Amino acid sequence: MSDHAQVNGQTIAHTVTGNGPPVLLLHGFPQNQAMWHAIAPKLADDFTVVTADLRGYGASSKPERMEDMSFRQMAADQVALMAHLGFDRFHLIGHDRGARTAHRLVLDTPETVMSLTLMDIVPTHLLLDDLTQDVARAYYHWFFLAQPAPFPETLIGHDPDAYFENCLAGWGGGMDGFDSVALGAYRAAWRYPDCIRAMCNDYRAAIDVDFALDAQDLDRTVNVPALVLFGADGVMGKAYDVAGTWANRLDNMQSTAVPGGHFFPDTHPDATVHALLDFLKSE
């Protein structure tokens, strides 16, 4: 059952299951912690698994200011949440925006992270600073959502299901494989106007706040054990040497492709669990 913690000035919805070393799972856009429905129970046989809704998403609070949706703020929430739960150090796994939050978290508070897993992203600064036509076409939402309010909010609000399901299908290779219960949880959240606003602010903050923060940290590396996973058929896997984009940022890295597109944790959970357990049990 999901619980709520008051941390870092926010209400963060989360769920704790299992026993063993702590693992924090962070979802991406346009989802929430329901994306881990088929993964968390299998990890919980060996780990204490915490799934959380990022601020602005799911059942967590929705700050109004754009600046409050930066990855730095999202990361601070999750460090505070884990401390609230009694975990000063933990394994950290993120997908999409959750992975970008995870990268910022380990840069800001490296002492809290036992291992880092990044799913289907290239570094934020690299993507924005060296944008290719193919990526710009596929990931147009970075720039649509970042338009001044209330333009994207108004258009999305006309039919949130149509817009966000187009995102799921477009980057995930269709809607086959998405669990109906998880889809119900996604829809319930993204139909909420404050959630739409917060998600737009997430993308505004990536350009207006996070890009500059990442520029300051271009020479910094992460030395905790790291796993980079990417969808074999996804946009990132086709457009980039994903592992190569992280080679000068992660000192102790391994990487592997997982079947499926961007949303492989939803559509190929067993392959995702296999890759995660191989890595986590080796640490």
Model-level pTM greater than 0.85? yes
112-168: pLDDT as tens digits: 999 999 999 999 999 999 999 999 999 999 999 999 999 999 999 999 999 999 999
- Residues 230-259 as b/e (b if ≥16 CB within 10 A, e otherwise) read bbebbbbbebbebbebbeebbeebebebbe
159 vs 212: CA distance, rounded Å: 33
Is residue 276 scored above 80 in pLDDT? yes
171 vs 95: CA distance, rounded Å: 13
270 vs 274: CA distance, rounded Å: 6
Tokens at 242, concatenated: 């994903």
Tabulate helix, strand, coil % of the chain (nearest 5).
50, 20, 30
103, 141, 262, 268: which one is catalytic? 262
96, 120, 202, 210: which one is catalytic? 96
Is residue 283 scored above 80 in pLDDT? no
Tokens at 259, concatenated: 């079947």
Q: Give residue 189's Cα distance to chain centre.
A: 16
125 is catalytic: no
Over residues 193-220, mean pLDDT: 98
143 vs 138: CA distance, rounded Å: 11
Residue 215: phi, psi to the nearest 5?
Answer: -60, -35
Give the pLDDT score at 170.
87
Q: Which of 223, 171, 241 is nearest to 28 (CA)?
A: 171
214-266: pLDDT as tens digits: 999 999 999 999 999 999 999 999 999 999 999 999 999 999 999 999 999 99
CATH number of 3-280: 3.40.50.1820
Could you tell me the pLDDT band of residue 47, with boundaries at 50, 70 and 90? very high
% residues pLDDT > 70 (the chain): 100
What SS3 state is found at 30? Answer: coil
H or E, element range at 207: none
- Angle, nearest 10°, between helix axes 180-190 and 193-205? 90
Give the pLDDT score at 2.
82
CA dihedral 68, 211, 106, 240 (to 10 degrees): 130
150-165: pLDDT as tens digits: 999 999 999 999 999 9
Average pLDDT, the chain: 97
217 is catalytic: no
